């Protein structure tokens, strides 16, 4: 079945094939996906500021936008992804001096580096511990891995073991994610990603009954057609907690 045009990338550079949403990865240049794209981009930007001058590997890089953000600060960035369409798209759209893309599995990529970035993917793995062990081995002395995953308590319906995302093998509570990370790394710092600015106001409005108001007024589509594309990176913030209410967890592993 064809993917609706509203879920396919718009206005790509000449010669770059657009990608369509499948639920496996988020994409820029899809207005309906802007919330998720900005949610991920905010973390990439935070990580990039901690990778100045380093040799960085962006594991499971997908479309490549995060690799491009990391390259604004890092000395060298390699984006690794096994999907042939995503790899070709990223290679054509983002390659430049200091940036390259390699088609490979995260389980088999074997070049040492200073930092590994692995965002919103560990929940897709059947053996995440083995992958984190491999990351530890690839890091040069003093290196850092940045690993993020969604919080099952805010992603899944109340009481459910996981969301309905078919690509997710397991979703984690904070203590479960910490235990996973501590099994592979000696030092684990765990932060949470939260709504800020306009998204925080929207969150509070929902608690006060906004979800009953906009359908009754018949303004749902008109409101969200303007609200969602207006979401930016600054509408998310990383902080220590409370982790039970976090959208995502961000681990800094050494």
pLDDT number for residue 6: 73
Q: What does the buried/exposed string (b/e) look like for 148-182 if buried means 16 or more CB atoms within 10 Å of the residue's CB?
A: bbbbbbebbeeeeebeeeeebebbbebeebbebbe
> What's the helix, strand, coil split of the chain in %, to 5?
40, 25, 35
Measured between alpha carbons, how far is 122 from 185 in angstroms, rounded to an integer?
15
Answer whether residue 205 is part of any domain.
no
Percent of the chain, pLDDT > 90? 95
**Domain total of the chain:** 1
Q: Which two tokens stand for residue 53?
A: 């001058």
158 alpha-carbon distance from chain centroid: 23
Answer whether residue 22 is part of any domain.
no
Answer whether residue 34 is part of any domain.
yes
pLDDT digits (tens, 9 = 90+) for 14-66: 999 999 999 889 999 999 999 999 999 999 999 999 999 999 999 999 999 99
Q: Count, in order, helices (H) and strands (E) of the chain.
A: 9, 8
Global pTM value = 0.94
pLDDT digits (tens, 9 = 90+) for 129-188: 999 999 999 999 999 999 999 999 999 999 899 999 999 999 999 999 999 999 999 999
Q: Which long-range contacts (CB under 8 A, 24 or more apart) does 44-49 make?
A: 44/69, 44/70, 44/117, 44/119, 45/69, 45/233, 46/238, 46/250, 47/117, 47/119, 47/146, 48/72, 48/73, 48/74, 49/73
Q: What is the CATH number of the domain that holds 240?
A: 3.40.50.150
Answer whether residue 136 is part of any domain.
yes
Answer whether residue 69 is part of any domain.
yes
Q: Which two tokens stand for residue 58?
A: 């962006």
Strand partners, 103: 81
Full residue range of the structural domain in which residue 84 is found: 28-194+236-253
Confidence of residue 1 (pLDDT cuts 50, 70, 90): very low
Task: Provide the mean pLDDT of the chain.
Answer: 95
Answer whether residue 155 is part of any domain.
yes
Q: Does the pLDDT of residue 4 top 90, yes or no? A: no
């Amino acid at each position: 079945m064809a993917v609706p045009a509203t879920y396919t990338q718009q206005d790509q550079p000449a010669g770059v094939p657009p990608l369509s949403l499948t639920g496996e990865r988020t994409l820029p240049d899809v207005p309906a996906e802007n919330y998720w794209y900005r949610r991920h981009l905010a973390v990439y930007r935070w990580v990039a500021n901690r990778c100045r001058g380093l040799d960085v590997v962006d594991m499971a890089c997908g479309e490549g936008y995060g690799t491009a953000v990391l390259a604004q600060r890092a000395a060298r960035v390699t984006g690794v992804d096994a999907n042939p369409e995503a790899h070709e798209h990223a290679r054509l759209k983002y390659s430049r001096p200091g940036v390259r893309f390699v088609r490979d599995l995260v389980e088999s990529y074997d070049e040492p580096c200073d930092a590994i970035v692995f965002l919103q993917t560990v929940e897709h793995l059947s053996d995440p511990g083995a992958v984190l062990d491999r990351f530890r081995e690839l890091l040069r002395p003093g290196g850092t891995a940045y690993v993020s995953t969604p919080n099952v308590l805010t992603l899944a319906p109340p009481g459910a073991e996981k969301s309905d995302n078919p690509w997710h093998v397991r979703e984690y509570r904070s203590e479960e994610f910490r235990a996973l990370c501590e099994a592979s790394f000696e030092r684990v710092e765990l932060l949470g990603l939260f709504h800020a600015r306009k998204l925080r106001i929207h969150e509070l409005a929902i608690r006060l009954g906004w979800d009953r108001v906009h359908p009754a007024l018949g303004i749902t589509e008109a409101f969200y057609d303007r609200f969602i594309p207006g979401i930016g990176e600054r509408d998310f913030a990383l902080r220590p907690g409370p982790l039970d209410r976090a959208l995502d967890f961000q681990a800094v592993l050494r």
